[in-house]
């Protein structure tokens, strides 16, 4: 929502472009290896990931511009690695605000200060704040430079039909309707996914009672870029407030509505302005400010039973909805897109059997369930669902006033990469390893090398990371890159490796297998498993 007198896309700081529907449609292709429905962050990330694999895609979106408002604003370190791999990272690095710290307050007193792990060994910060319209703009700029991506705005999918070894979409734009056929379809069309509805699929899970108003406020405040959480503040007794700094002097304020507050009244501009003014007074700000945009949301943990329906894969919010606490929604969706993109690439190029695609739903739904476990704890603490939960939450907060250990209960435990320990593509562990070494299925940790970071030296496909030059030579017959490092390098220390250790790294930078002492036959067997079976 925008203040009275401003158009829907009239912003204090961002110029929304207008995208026309496809012109001269008769000359456009009516088929592609992959069709992507939805040109938000998840859909465009998937398209760029496919292009990196050499796969052409067509992206359809109903809108004529980017999504309005800040929406998803927190981008985790692993997501920056994804953006780096798909070639879109430069403007994100220039614009986004990195942060590591969060502070929680109860009735005006600080009860917690947490610090996310950060060190020079990491290429990126633990977390970045950036409004979603910038996220979409920067991805769109990358899409514009990619000839393998055809993005069609003002194009709505009105029907879906399975046809042999493909799917036919009915696309409707201002010029009429036409059929479009794809081998595979990615549904990145959001929480209200029309494709999900057309296929008769439902999200299942838990709805929470807590409602939050999101308000974007422009003000020249010099408070550092951290996460601030206010529990039971004077301005909103019994409620919770979250505050994040964003670029362009935009501050994101999320405040909880009371159970007895009428949502319609709460969303009136006058009411929002009064509520925001009270929050700003609470944090000691008495300078000028203006209201940019506002909306409302409820916390939910919902997911499909299966993220695949025939030749359609659901990614992002079309597959799952998670509470914002812990900033897991966008980041989980970007990981979905990254996961399915490399797998479709390998299958469509003929480098892997189609059975590789069977792993998408187990891996990514497993990641969602892990997110649910953490997000549910945060949601229950932020918005207690029952009187009993409220009593326990308030008791913990009161205890934290004088006992710092209790403040950890207010720690949101931000998004961390999921370990695909139970994936059908991951080889069971062999050898003896330190407890701090990354497990098979985990994302490869970063490390500083003589030239750049470890993540800079991974190949586009699979990479055998080894500390034994002879072992690297022995796998030349496999379609994998090799990276040989000194046994005393920082990477070896981070990985808990010795001179005979080896790691098989997937295209999405997760560890497919590790060995304390590898043989060529073991590596070949693990590679075969990691692509879903013998190569075609």
* pLDDT tens, position by position, 153-163: 999 999 999 99
pLDDT, one tens digit per residue, over 241-270 is 999 999 999 999 999 999 899 999 999 999
Q: What is the per-residue pLDDT for 387?
A: 81
Q: What is the per-residue pLDDT for 208?
A: 77
Q: Exposed, middle or buried: residue 350 (CB in 10 Å: 0-12, 13-18, 19+)?
A: exposed
Render the burial of 497-523: b for 16+ CB within 10 Å, e for the rest: beeebbbbbbbbbbbbbbbbebeeebb
- How many residues appear in the chain? 536
DSSP type of residue 478: S
Q: What is the per-residue pLDDT for 414?
A: 65
Q: What is the per-residue pLDDT for 329?
A: 87
User: Would you say domain 25-96+129-202+302-371 falls under CATH 3.40.50.720?
Assistant: no
Mean pLDDT, residues 373-398 = 83
**Counting runs of H as helices and runs of E as strands, what totals does the chain give?**
13, 23
- Confidence grade of residue 198 (pLDDT, cut at 50, 70, 90): very high
DSSP type of residue 399: H
**Would the pLDDT of 530 be above 70?**
yes
Backbone angles phi, psi at 152, to 5 degrees: -115, 110
Residue 66 contacts residue 192 (beta carbons within 8 Å): no
CA distances from 354 to 165, 347, 401 (A): 12, 6, 56
CATH of 419-536, one of 2.30.40.10, 3.40.30.120, 3.10.520.10, 3.30.70.100: 3.40.30.120
Same fold for the pair 25-96+129-202+302-371 and 419-536: no
Domain coordinates of the chain in residue numbers?
25-96+129-202+302-371, 419-536
Q: What is the per-residue pLDDT for 430?
A: 67
Q: Radius of gyration of the chain from Cα atoms? A: 24
β-strand 101-106 against 227-231: which pairing, if any?
Answer: parallel
Mean pLDDT, residues 373-395 = 82
**Would the pLDDT of 273 be above 70?**
yes
SS3 readout for 94-146: HHCEEECEEEEEECCEEEEEEECCCCCCCCCCCEEECCHHHHHHHHHHHHHCC
- Residues contacting 504, CB < 8 A, separation 6+: 427, 462, 463, 464, 465, 480, 511, 512, 513, 514, 523, 526, 527, 530
Mean pLDDT, residues 334-357 = 99
Taken in order 179, 182, 186, 188, the sign of the CA dihedral is: negative
**Would the pLDDT of 326 be above 80?**
no
pLDDT, one tens digit per residue, over 203-219 is 999 887 789 999 999 99
Q: Which residue is listed with tokens 């080894």?
A: 466
């Amino acid at each position: 929502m925008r203040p009275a007198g401003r158009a829907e896309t009239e912003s204090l700081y961002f110029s929304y472009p207008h995208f026309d529907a496809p012109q001269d449609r008769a000359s456009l292709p009516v088929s592609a290896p992959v069709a992507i429905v939805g040109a938000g962050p998840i859909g465009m990330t998937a398209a760029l990931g496919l292009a990196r694999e050499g796969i052409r895609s067509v992206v359809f979106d109903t809108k004529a511009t980017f999504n309005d408002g800040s929406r998803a604003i927190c981008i985790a370190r692993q997501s920056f690695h994804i953006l780096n791999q798909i070639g879109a990272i430069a403007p994100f690095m220039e614009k986004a605000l990195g942060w590591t710290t969060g502070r929680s307050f109860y009735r005006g007193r600080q009860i917690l200060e947490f610090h996310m792990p950060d060190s020079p060994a990491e290429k990126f910060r633990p977390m970045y704040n950036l409004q979603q319209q910038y996220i979409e703009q920067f991805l769109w700029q990358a899409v514009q430079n990619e000839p393998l991506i055809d993005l069609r705005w003002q194009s709505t999918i009105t029907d879906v039909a399975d046809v042999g070894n493909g799917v036919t979409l009915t696309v409707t734009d201002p010029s009429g309707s036409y059929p479009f056929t794809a081998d595979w379809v990615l549904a990145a069309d959001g929480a209200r996914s029309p494709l999900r509805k057309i296929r008769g699929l439902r999200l299942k899970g838990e709805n929470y009672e807590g409602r939050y108003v999101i308000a974007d406020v422009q003000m020249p405040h010099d408070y550092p870029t951290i996460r601030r959480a206010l529990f039971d503040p004077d301005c909103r007794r019994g409620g919770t407030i979250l505050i994040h700094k964003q670029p362009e002097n935009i501050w994101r304020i999320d405040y909880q509505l009371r159970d007895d507050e009428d949502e319609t009244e709460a969303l009136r501009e006058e009411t929002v302005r009064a509520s925001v003014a009270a929050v700003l007074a609470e944090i000691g700000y008495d300078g000028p400010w203006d209201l940019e945009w506002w909306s409302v949301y409820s916390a939910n943990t919902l997911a499909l039973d299966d993220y695949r329906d025939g030749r359609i894969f659901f990614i992002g919010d079309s597959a799952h909805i998670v509470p914002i606490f812990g900033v897991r929604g966008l980041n989980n969706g970007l990981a979905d897109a990254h996961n399915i993109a490399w797998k479709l690439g390998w299958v469509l190029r003929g480098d892997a059997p189609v059975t590789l695609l069977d792993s998408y739903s187990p891996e990514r739904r497993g990641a969602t369930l892990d997110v649910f476990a953490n997000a549910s704890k945060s949601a229950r603490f932020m918005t207690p669902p029952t009187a009993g939960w409220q009593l326990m939450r308030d008791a913990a907060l009161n205890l934290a006033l004088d006992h710092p250990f209790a403040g950890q209960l207010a720690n949101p435990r931000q998004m961390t990469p999921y370990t695909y320990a139970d994936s059908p593509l991951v080889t069971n562990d062999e050898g003896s390893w330190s407890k701090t070494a990354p497990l098979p299925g985990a994302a490869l940790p970063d490390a500083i090398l003589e030239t750049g970071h470890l993540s800079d030296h991974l190949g586009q496909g699979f990479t055998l990371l080894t500390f034994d030059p002879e072992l690297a030579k022995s796998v030349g017959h496999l379609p994998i890159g090799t990276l040989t490092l000194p046994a005393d390098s920082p990477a070896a220390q981070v990985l808990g490796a010795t001179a005979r250790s080896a790691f098989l790294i997937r295209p999405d930078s997760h560890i497919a297998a590790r060995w304390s002492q590898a043989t060529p036959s073991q590596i070949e067997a693990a590679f075969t498993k990691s692509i879903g079976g013998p190569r075609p």
